[in-house]
Each structure stands twice: as C-alpha cells, then as structure tokens.
Amino acid sequence: SPGLRIARVNYDQHQRLIDCDLEFWRHDAIHVGVDVV
C-alpha cells in the first residue's frame, strides 16, 4: 500500500555514524505540511 519512508541519520563532528532511525507511515496516517519563512 502507499506510504512514506523517513530515514534520519545522525553523524558526529568527524562524520562518524552515531545512530539512524527508519520510520514507515501509512498514507492515511500522516499529514505533511511545509511553511516558508
């Protein structure tokens, strides 16, 4: 079924991997909004 995959990857100041997080969201369970300032 349609969905959205979000991957967050965090690095330290030496570009070494600290951690990562994968999320999968169903299309009917998420609202994406963008504000421009």
- 22 burial (CB, 10 Å; 0-12 / 13-18 / 19+) is exposed
- What is the model's pLDDT at position 9? 97
Q: How many domains does the chain have?
A: 1
Count, residues in the chain: 37
Tell me whether residue 5 is in a domain.
yes
CA atoms within 13 A on the CB side of 36: 0
- What is the model's pLDDT at position 29? 92
Give 1-37 pLDDT, tens digit per residue: 788 999 999 999 999 999 999 999 998 998 889 999 9
Tell me whether residue 16 is in a domain.
yes
Tell me whether residue 26 is in a domain.
yes
Of 28, 26, 23, residue with least CA distance to 6: 23
Tell me whether residue 1 is in a domain.
yes
CA distance 27 to 33: 14
- What is the model's pLDDT at position 4? 92
Residue range of the domain that includes 20:
1-30
